[in-house]
Structure 1
């Protein structure tokens, strides 16, 4: 177990638990107390973040390639302007966020002053009534902890890694971290799984996080170009590459889990499974639940086990997405983990998948040896 000591109201307190997940942010006290260092991925840029309540539409400057009158109000827009790169992000109801890159030599405190903030955001709102809710400067970093687990203490979220925000994946990383830990802890407590399965946490998450942070860092360098000539060349290149090409999303950046609790060597192992909307309007997870699920093509494919929900694709309200996934990978069965990543796939039968799952969950020490 773990004992946490802390001060509350000037008095020393303690709390004990089997495990501790430290989600205490970029300056993580827990990480520092454990002596865990950070890998610096060589990206640090200061940005001013401004939140406002805006009672009307935001005014966008003319954007090359965007038709005049196009509705940008509900889109997140990155302005790759060498004069000052900026981002505009819509929030709930009338909330808006601006992020402005600070230029070399600009002082954080001076740029956060009310008159300077009003100058920067004023052009975007003209005569529209608005209220500045908050303005603060941040250093956008690319950092990853050397160790995500020390004994029974696990680092998660910004305590374990920090990413530039250019793909909007910072909080998503944290959610994936705790999803990874939660189902494994549940399996240990409630299903008798080996505690050693928790040792797969960093092995599964670290490569994923580094890949996405690496892409965000590269995008940040691309976006933060301040040289007008280099920025013009970049813009030309972007337009040429975009012709006849569908846009990429954060989904395209996320790699599969390569090692850990996956059946490596089977088609699709470690990938995130699909989440189609079914004919009745429900999403797949709403229909099947979110525990271990064995999807089989039809009733002729064997495979059943306690603790695993068997789902026959042909019996779903709309099985096309599942059938297409099985066809794409040339298999008849796919076993999906509680965090929606594919454990493994098989043809003809799901029995071997279920046996492999049991081996890895309940005898992980022998498996890793």
Structure 2
């Protein structure tokens, strides 16, 4: 029986990201995917600059830029297509070096993720490999696999298993976890269309607040467009399979473009759910992505959450496997990510409810309130800012209970020396960012602990960032989140995550 340190179940964006990050740390892993080829239909279409930063960490900075396009933000429209409110986003590089929001076609993203994975010799990818059972004992996990092409059965042994196998996760079932609903279920029609014609629409997300049928429109790529419409009782996707029946729904955006120039790529029914698994780990099996949480698509965070899971867990698991980190750090994964995912799901639920609830009365309220939202202090920034909530307190997030600070937040991917950014210098290691000029002994101590020292000089972006948290130094984790921040330079904070540390 073959033995590997890590088996990744599922080769969607979450599984491919986790495997690539592990490979960057030299961890051998086996990726098992039940399908041989990439699923050809578009699903996820949006991500933010924090997740764009993760893709750059994988080595896909230029390749993702080539397949994506920035979007300008959000417009809320009434049933007559009048703009009730507009929240614009900056399409240029932001604090992480990337647009605050980007649109893409998921098959294109998975193509570059798979191609990039082949650059790492420590990863083996197997398609047509359906995992049928996970069995744990004190020393590891037996993974039973069936070759869907030949019907042959075999078993592999792993130290750890990452269940990235989607909403119908076998990994979740194997650890006895169950999805908990957060009070949101809606049936929607999802439509993808290709056309060489230019629709001439505003290059952002359009949210249609129509009590008769709420909807969403966005341009995904040069020729690809996405619509989503809430289905009424009794309707199904089959009612809209041909353009003659579909066109009345999308004609508000397509205008006078001939029907013959619009090609349907997909018409499908999706049930948008808000759910979180009650447990994300059992000993050596972890849940990531849709196996752990389902997010309504109204803020474009479903796939993003999965990539954040991978980023949070991979460096911890790699550190445990090579003995650099205490095994107890793995307990922080669910603590940190579950709280964050739940917060984003609640935000998506709020946006979806605000857009669709209340019938005609709700429509009257939206028409009265939405045009005045920009007058509410801070609301425009909240609607357009891509920053997500800080991570929950854990052994790796030393956040004061009674005061907000930098701990748990992402360190900006700031330009350090006129050209290189923070991530280029940190390179997946712990970093200490400080506005205090360290002594030679302190520099040696930081180097001895395996951390990167980055001095935030007065007037620099990192200096200003430290100031927002009333801090003079911050210990930044390999995933970019702040472990600890304060007024003094405390490299010994890193000892808490070492084997035998405090």
Superposed displacement of residue 319, structure 1: 5.6
Q: Could you tell me whether the CA contact under 8 Å between 1:50 and 1:135 is conserved in 2?
A: yes
Map of 1:63 onto structure 2: none
Map of 2:455 onto structure 1: 312
Is 1:361 paired with 2:492?
no
Local SS of the residue matching 2:232: coil
Superposed displacement of residue 160, structure 1: 0.2
Pairing partner for 1:273 from 399, 403, 411: 411
Separation in 2, partners of 1:244, 1:210: 26
More off after superposition, 284-293 vs 161-170: 284-293
Q: Could you tell me whether the CA contact under 8 Å between 2:192 and 2:266 is conserved in 1?
A: yes
Separation in 2, partners of 1:34, 1:110: 39
Map of 2:335 onto structure 1: 203
C-alpha distance 97-182 of structure 1, shift in aligned 2 (>3 A): same
Pairing partner for 2:486 from 343, 346, 363: 346
Map of 1:230 onto structure 2: 362
Superposed displacement of residue 222, structure 1: 0.7
Count, aligned residues: 347
Is 1:127 paired with 2:257?
yes
In structure 1, stretches of 5+ residues that fail to align are 61-71
Is 1:91 paired with 2:231?
no
Separation in 2, partners of 1:35, 1:295: 42
Separation in 2, partners of 1:338, 1:104: 48
In structure 2, stretches of 5+ residues that fail to align are 1-139
Map of 2:437 onto structure 1: 299
Superposed displacement of residue 282, structure 1: 4.4
Superposed displacement of residue 226, structure 1: 5.6
Q: Could you tell me whether the CA contact under 8 Å between 1:192 and 1:362 is conserved in 2?
A: yes
**Aligned Cα root-mean-square deviation (Å):** 2.3
Q: Could you tell me whether the CA contact under 8 Å between 1:157 and 1:177 is conserved in 2?
A: yes
Q: Could you tell me whether the CA contact under 8 Å between 2:336 and 2:391 is conserved in 1?
A: no
TM-score by length of 1: 0.86
Q: Could you tell me whether the CA contact under 8 Å between 1:257 and 1:271 is conserved in 2?
A: no
Superposed displacement of residue 244, structure 1: 6.3
C-alpha distance 244-175 of structure 1, shift in aligned 2 (>3 A): same
Pairing partner for 1:23 from 164, 183, 187: 164
Superposed displacement of residue 195, structure 1: 1.7
Local SS of the residue matching 2:322: helix
Separation in 2, partners of 1:117, 1:140: 21
Separation in 2, partners of 1:327, 1:250: 19
Map of 1:54 onto structure 2: 195
Superposed displacement of residue 284, structure 1: 2.7
Map of 2:393 onto structure 1: 258
Separation in 1, partners of 2:265, 2:474: 48
Q: Could you tell me whether the CA contact under 8 Å between 2:428 and 2:479 is conserved in 1?
A: yes
Superposed displacement of residue 253, structure 1: 4.5
TM-score by length of 2: 0.65
Separation in 1, partners of 2:452, 2:267: 49
Is 1:42 paired with 2:179?
no
Map of 2:129 onto structure 1: none
Q: Which whole-Å deviations, capped at 9, do the CAs of 1:69-115 have from their partners, x for residues lacking one?
A: xxx1x212211122211111222322111111112332343244554
Separation in 2, partners of 1:329, 1:343: 13
Q: Could you tell me whether the CA contact under 8 Å between 1:157 and 1:175 is conserved in 2?
A: yes
Q: Could you tell me whether the CA contact under 8 Å between 1:200 and 1:260 is conserved in 2?
A: yes
